[in-house]
Amino acid sequence: MRPRRPGPYPNGVSVHVPPSTTTTEPRGTASARSLVSLLGEQRASIVEHLRRHDEATVAELAELLQISEVAVRRHLAVLAGEDLITSEAVGGARGRPAARYRLTRAAGRLFPHRYDHFATEVLDFLDAHHGRDGLLAFLRWRVDREVDGLRDAVTAEDLHTRLQQLADALSDAGFEASVSEEGESFTLVQDHCAIYDVAKDHPEVCAYEAATFSKVLGGDVQLSRRQTLAGGSAACVCTVRPRRPGGGAGSDTGPRNGEDAATSVPNRSEPQ
C-alpha cells in the first residue's frame, strides 16, 4: 500500500461521466484535465464556471453547457451530494425565487494549492538562518498551539473514548484516523497525512506531532510511534497504553535528538 498524499478531492468520491461532444470543457491546464477526470466534463465545467463567476442559476448553466435544465439539475444533485455546491433562493422580478448555486468551502480542495510548498520553505528558512535550535523552537511552539486547539475536543475520562475523540478531531482535519483496542493497549492509525510533503522533508514534524498527541491525551498514558507515512510506512501508527502506577509523569517539551519516541507528559489538568 503506497502512502496517500493529500488529494484534491474530498469525501473519497470517484464519480465520472464519459466525455460528451460539448465544447465547454475547462481550459487545457493540468488542473483542468484533472478536474475533468474526477468529475466528468460537464460537471467539471459547472465547477469551473462557479469558481470563476461565483454563482449561477440552472438556466445559466444549461445555456453554458447547451443541455436541458433537467440534465443540469441532475449534475447539480450529484455535486450537492458530495458537498461541493450549495444553493440560495433569490427573489426575482416575477414568479418563484430562482436558486443560485455556488461552491462550498469543501470544493476548494478540487483546485491546486501550494500551502505545503510554502510551509516547507518556512521550515527550510528557519533551519538555514536560525539553525536546528530555531527549527525545534518553532516545533515546540506549534505543539503548544495544537494542544490548545485539541483540548476542547478531547475531554473524556475513559482512555478509549478519549482516543476516539482525538481520532475524530484528526479525521475532521484531513488525517483519516481510527482507533483499535488490543488487550491493554490501543492503536491510533492515520491512513492519510494532510502535511505529507512537509513531513517528508522535515521528519521532525512527525515526532512533534506525536508529542502533541501525548500532551492532549494526558499524563496517565504512554504513547509511542515508530511508523509514519512520511517515513515510507503504509500509515502513521501510534501505540497508546495506560501508564502504570509509579511510572512517573514528568514534563517533556518534545522529542529529543529527532527521535519519535515514547513521551512522558504533564497531566491534562495541569497548566502548560
pLDDT at 214 over 60: yes
CA distance 26 to 76: 17
C-alpha separations of 105 from 90, 141, 231 in Å: 20, 28, 31
pLDDT at 256 over 80: no
pLDDT at 246: 62
Tens-place pLDDT, residues 152-177: 999 999 999 999 999 999 998 888 89
| 115-242 fold | Muramoyl-pentapeptide Carboxypeptidase; domain 2 (3.30.1380)
pTM: 0.54
CATH 1.10.10.10 residue spans of the chain: 10-110
CA distance 261 to 223: 8
| 10-110 fold | Arc Repressor Mutant, subunit A (1.10.10)
CATH 3.30.1380.20 residue spans of the chain: 115-242
Tens-place pLDDT, residues 92-119: 656 677 899 998 888 877 766 566 777 8
Q: Which residue has the higher pLDDT, 130 or 32?
A: 130
CA distance 212 to 223: 10
